[in-house]
């Protein structure tokens, strides 16, 4: 087991495909959850020049985004491509807002000809633009779009600015050694999953993974070899997880995963596949070939039993310890 779980001080970044996010192309559903109170929709200091009519801009190279400005914890930008994106609470939406005030199919955003349009799709609680209900209207960089408890605004970002933002984001959310998300980001996303899954009556599984006898690798081959092994393990985990699964480095030689919509038997199958992939992988370092195995603990909860994320993680960790006691290189599911 890692002795320095609590001492990890990694710098990080994020991916953005699966409910993943700050800057990401609109290729997979964007998941956002919320518990904060709804604010009044008010103007804030403008950071971009623009006019009032659709946002066709003079900066032809700029890239359009929707940015979440409330709740504050979801400081996320959603890239808009030419075409239409559906916003709603249902799983078929392109931008999924986990909020009971949002209809399953609530509204749609269309980006065409350098302009952004919003259209309400017969939602129960309506779509508000600058505080007024709208059926179809253009969205400017001065507008505030409110859907349920979420408030969004349009932005056009210069590619160079996006590149800089990506670097800042990477430093804050990604493990500097392995390149997977860090513990802080992963736990924040886990809390969001917990709230959203309770509201939408979904299952959630947590998976704790530990590299077996990792100290031996460091002792026999050196710490640089150990670093290489951790990078290889992270890469194999990333390759073999499912698209919607969240993976991060928890500390030392431990990794944590969240598996949405997954009960314990399916989670065990996923983890057995991952365990086998790690067992078959060979790391190479300065002429040495190094093979390692992993022990895995799995815990699953239904929506009515989900109360706190730390309890679910603790159960997965207990199952991991049981896997160690039983001989390592195995998956144990918490009962």
Give burial (CB, 10 Å; 0-12/13-18/19+) of 18. Answer: buried
285 pLDDT exceeds 70? yes
pLDDT value at residue 71: 73
Count of other CB atoms within 10 angstroms of residue 261? 14
Alpha helices (H) in 122-210, listed in sequence order: 159-173, 183-199
pTM: 0.62
Catalytic annotation, residues: 253
Q: How far apart are CA 222 and CA 198, in angstroms?
A: 45
136 pLDDT exceeds 90? yes
pLDDT value at residue 70: 80
Among 13-22, 159-168, 200-209, 228-237, where is mean pLDDT lowest?
Answer: 13-22
Helix/strand/coil for 228: helix
Do 226 and 218 contact (CB within 8 A), yes or no?
yes
pLDDT value at residue 289: 97
Among 19-23, 25-29, 208-212, 217-221, where is mean pLDDT lowest?
Answer: 19-23
Q: What is the pLDDT of residues 247-280, one digit of tens each?
A: 999 999 999 999 988 888 999 999 999 999 999 9
Edge to edge, the sheet with strand 204-211 lists: 246-251, 254-260, 204-211, 294-301, 331-333
- Encoded tokens for 106: 């609530």
Contacts of 189 (CB under 8 A, 6+ apart): 19, 181, 246, 258
Q: At what angle do helices 223-240 and 214-221 cross, to 10 degrees?
A: 140
45 pLDDT exceeds 70? no
In angstroms, the first-to-last Cα distance of the chain is: 22
Q: What is the pLDDT of residues 176-191, one digit of tens each?
A: 999 999 999 898 888 8
pLDDT value at residue 175: 93
Percent of the chain with pLDDT over 70: 75
pLDDT value at residue 197: 67
- Encoded tokens for 265: 């038997």
pLDDT band at residue 148 under the 50/70/90 scheme:
very high
């Amino acid at each position: 087991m890692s002795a320095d779980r609590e001492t990890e001080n990694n710098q990080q970044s994020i991916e953005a495909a699966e409910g993943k996010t700050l800057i990401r192309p609109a290729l997979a559903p964007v998941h956002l959850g919320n518990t904060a109170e709804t604010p009044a929709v008010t103007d804030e200091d403008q950071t971009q020049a623009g006019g009032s009519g659709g946002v066709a801009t003079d900066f032809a190279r700029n890239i359009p985004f929707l940015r979440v400005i409330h709740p504050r914890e979801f400081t996320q930008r959603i890239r808009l491509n030419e075409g239409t994106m559906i916003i709603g609470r249902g799983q078929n939406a392109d931008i999924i807002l986990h909020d009971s005030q949002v209809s399953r199919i609530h509204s749609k955003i269309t980006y065409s000809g350098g302009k952004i349009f919003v259209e309400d799709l017969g939602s129960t609680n309506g779509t508000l633009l600058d505080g007024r209900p709208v059926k179809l209207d253009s969205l400017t960089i001065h507008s505030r779009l409110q859907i349920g408890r979420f408030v969004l605004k349009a932005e056009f970002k210069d590619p160079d600015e996006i590149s800089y933002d990506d670097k800042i984001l990477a430093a804050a959310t990604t493990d500097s050694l392995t390149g997977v998300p860090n513990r802080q980001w992963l736990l924040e996303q886990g809390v969001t999953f917990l709230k959203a899954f309770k509201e939408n009556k979904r299952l959630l599984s947590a998976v704790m993974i530990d590299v077996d006898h990792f100290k031996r690798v460091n002792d026999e081959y050196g710490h640089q070899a150990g670093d290489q092994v951790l990078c290889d393990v992270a890469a194999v985990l990333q390759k073999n997880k499912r698209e919607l699964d969240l993976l991060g480095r928890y500390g030392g030689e431990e990794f944590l995963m969240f598996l949405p919509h997954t009960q314990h038997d399916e989670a065990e199958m996923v983890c057995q596949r991952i365990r086998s992939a790690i067992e078959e992988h060979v790391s190479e370092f300065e002429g040495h070939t190094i093979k390692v195995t992993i022990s895995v603990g799995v815990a699953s909860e239904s929506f009515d039993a989900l109360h706190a994320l730390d309890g679910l993680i603790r159960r997965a960790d207990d199952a991991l310890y049981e896997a160690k006691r039983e001989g390592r290189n195995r998956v144990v599911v918490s009962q």
